[in-house]
Amino acid sequence: MESKETPEKCFYLKWPWNAAVYIVLAVVMRLFAVPPILFLMWWNRKQQPDGPEEGYCLQRTRRRLTGLIPAAAFGAGGALAVWFFLLGQTIPHEVEQLDEQMRIFYYLCPFLGTGAALISIFLAWRSLRDAFCPEKSALAGSIRRQLSCPDEVPSAKELFALVDQDLKQNGQWCGRIGVGKEWVLGEQVSRISRIRGVFSREERHASAAGKRTRVVCIYEIWIVDDRRQQQITSLRSKRELEDAMDCLRRRAPAAQFGTYGSKEYKDLVFAEEEMERYAQERAYRKRKAMQEERERLEQD
């Protein structure tokens, strides 16, 4: 009898221990925690070559915990604004000596502080909801809304399994966006059969601060479905953007392709009259029928 070799078990941090370790390192080491955190994230990915154990979708929802960082920033800003206002109440003579602009800012501090606190609470609530209640996450909702019978697949486990299985079997990854035969996983999930337009956004913004010039590059994929809903996914480089566009052209050849802000994009997204939407849907079905006929002839 042939002996079956048991696969070697590799050590890596599982959820929620990985998040706990990242948080502890960030609190203890502060900025110096960035290199060890990046190393641990790289190690976890290396030990799971077939994809994350919990699945791509569940991993994506748990990464929403990073939203606690801007939530903490807004909370700190709101607390500083309120503290500045309360401090001025104790020394009113100093407030009277402020110039006009600073005095206006001082009287607006309670409103700014309250607004920042509300934004902080919302961002923190959304991040915690997506991470610990995946069935209520925006990612699960985007999948459920695209099913023909949304009520038949209520649990997040079943919803995520639809996308995870497709990506494991047929997925091609271009940075943060994964393209399968039936689903596209980005910031949210799009069903390929419902995609009507794919548009690339590539912008370069330069701002001067003293003697330094700061350049910010934007690379995004905008996917528009048959409900005129848009899914936006940010990418890290121009190469990832080009690879994602090429992959989506192969998987959804009947969709409209172009650049963000172009005439094709505006006609598709901002079509309000029923006749315009009907003409666009008819043109899509015509392109799809031609593509299917071409594929059938090639196979024959």
The pLDDT tens digits of the residues spanning 140-191 come to 888 888 887 766 666 788 889 889 999 988 889 998 899 999 999 998 999 9
- Specify whether the CB–CB gap between 139 and 189 falls below 8 A: yes
Angle between helices 34-46 and 17-29 (to 10 degrees): 160
Per-residue pLDDT tens for 260-281? Answer: 989 889 888 887 778 888 888 8
Give the residue extent of every domain in the chain.
17-136, 166-299
Average pLDDT, the chain: 85
Compute CA distances 113 → 106, 110, 124, 285, whole Å: 11, 5, 16, 52
> In DSSP terms, which residues pair with 201 in a beta bridge?
220
Give the phi and the psi of residue 270 in degrees, each rounded to 5: -100, 20
Residue 35 region by backbone torsions, left for phi larger than 0, else alpha for psi between -120 and 50, else beta:
alpha
Q: Which CATH architecture has domain 166-299?
A: Roll (2.30)
pTM of structure: 0.78
